[in-house]
Structure 1
């Protein structure tokens, strides 16, 4: 690993693309997004977006230097091959892939307990939003959890007494994002947590058929530093820190979004991916 000055030198010379990212326009009310087809006349998403063209750097060299990591930047890229060959079978995902993810996250984080609580299959093909098993890639800057919703997740997925005890100590929510084919369209852009200000985050409603969750939308900040991992393969994956209760400067959130790769071919196949979400618990310190 290089010195801090060397790391900054590498960051300054990384190859990059210029991409258009959709931020929430500042000064609006609370945005609302639906995970299912909303009632007639109700939009899928509210909140006016503000497209911004930003430099998005190749993150692979900085992962090699350990400058990008879960606790420093809020995300990292790893090499990991799943034994699951067909992700269209929900049983294989829950019985095999969940166990793989638990072992992987325990190894990467050193955590005591991992609880995988859901997953999402995404397909950028037109019309996939209306397919119950699939969702389209999200093309606006967001983070899946907030200071309010993250503790709710713990209480929703653990017995009451254990949940309250776990909430006294460090816990996190980490997403494991894997492409199901080499990514040629709509890759993920990820924002270095060290470049995000609290004022950039806007609590937003995420409506499910049976409940309303809370996520963060983000307003534009010229200090944001964006990264991507070109042509990510199925034997690679991304880890995203969606929440961390630690307050010592450790990365706590990862703003992210899909974006149009300006170097991609117009005829490139749709992006297909699986995103798995897990609660991560450490022992009492």
Structure 2
């Protein structure tokens, strides 16, 4: 489905959205035994991933359609969200303060019965290159964070860890909130692939293992994500020149099998019009379990 046409119709406009043309990395066709191994930057080891192939893609600017985007219908939204929090490289403060702020924000956004932030990634090319603990480089390959099986399993684990005592959820979602730490982002923005343009056969279940700073002999977490095969029907979106008071919120998993936007592939990409002088992108992405969001 051409989502640019879909949104243009809702805005009573026929013109396609403005955007940029840039290569995006996909899983190489025919890759055998694809898997990811994620090492902490402090280990000095580079992340290991399956072979990738770059394809030229048009990435539409969703600023123009921000007011019409809906998390349930489109799988992602772009919103202004002003946060007073600034200590993003202090892991303890992020968990103690920012998690609660984002839980309240997502609860209001989704109308959920409960929201639990359970994880976050802070990304910075420079800090990751210096081996700073807890900081990773931006991801340069299209992927989805969960499969149907791993999404259900992760949701159950989080509820157990948080001692959730409420009624059995009718629906759960795993939702990410992505925010730049400063703006404008002009080098490595985040691109999102509209789920309505992704065919089931484009999504390839791929094992992933995460090692942590304090344990390099065995993975702390093992799971399964989706790698993405190229399809010219894919419709990609980003938000131009994002600022620190703006966020992209997107579904990584939806337990509602009738939802057409259960998974949202995404990737960082190199902006083709990156200026000669710029402040490199730094960002934070929190992951949340959303329990019984309002229908939509």
TM above 0.5: yes
| Distance of 1:70 and 1:11 partners within structure 2 | 23
Moved more, 129-138 or 92-101: 129-138
Distance 1:131 1:43, change over 3 A: closer
Q: How does 1:97-116 map to 2 (within 5 A)?
A: 97-116=98-117
Distance 1:75 1:30, change over 3 A: farther
Conservation of the 8 A alpha-carbon contact between 1:193 and 1:255: yes
- 1:140-173 residue CA offsets vs partner (Å, 9 max, x unmatched): 001111111112212222238958963x510000
- Displacement of 1:248: 2.5
Match of 1:118 in 2: 119
Conservation of the 8 A alpha-carbon contact between 1:129 and 1:135: no
| Distance of 2:223 and 2:147 partners within structure 1 | 9
Aligned partner (choices 21, 27, 32) of residue 29 of structure 1: 32
2:282 is aligned with 1:275: no
Distance 1:90 1:222, change over 3 A: same
Match of 1:197 in 2: 199
2:249 is aligned with 1:249: no
Moved more, 85-94 or 157-166: 157-166
| Distance of 1:88 and 1:127 partners within structure 2 | 12
- Displacement of 1:117: 0.4
Distance 1:242 1:14, change over 3 A: same
> What is the RMSD of the two structures over their aligned residues, measured on CA atoms?
2.6
What is the TM-score when the length of structure 2 is the normalising length? Answer: 0.86
Q: How does 1:1-285 map to 2 (within 5 A)?
A: 6-7=9-10, 10=13, 12-36=15-39, 44-64=47-67, 66=68, 68-125=69-126, 127-128=128-129, 130-159=131-160, 166=168, 169-182=170-183, 183-209=185-211, 210-282=220-292
- Displacement of 1:50: 1.4
Gaps of 5+ in 2: 1-5, 212-219
- 1:100-147 residue CA offsets vs partner (Å, 9 max, x unmatched): 111110111111000110111001227538432100100000111111
Conservation of the 8 A alpha-carbon contact between 1:170 and 1:282: yes
Give the count of matched residue pairs. 278
- Displacement of 1:4: 6.7
Conservation of the 8 A alpha-carbon contact between 2:61 and 2:240: yes
Distance 1:12 1:124, change over 3 A: farther
| Distance of 1:43 and 1:14 partners within structure 2 | 37
Distance 1:4 1:150, change over 3 A: closer
Moved more, 206-215 or 256-265: 206-215
| Distance of 2:124 and 2:294 partners within structure 1 | 40
Which aligned runs of 4 or more in structure 1 are off by greater than 6 angstroms? none
Conservation of the 8 A alpha-carbon contact between 1:169 and 1:283: no
What is the TM-score when the length of structure 1 is the normalising length? Answer: 0.89
Gaps of 5+ in 1: none
Match of 2:215 in 1: none
Distance 1:271 1:169, change over 3 A: same
- Displacement of 1:6: 3.0
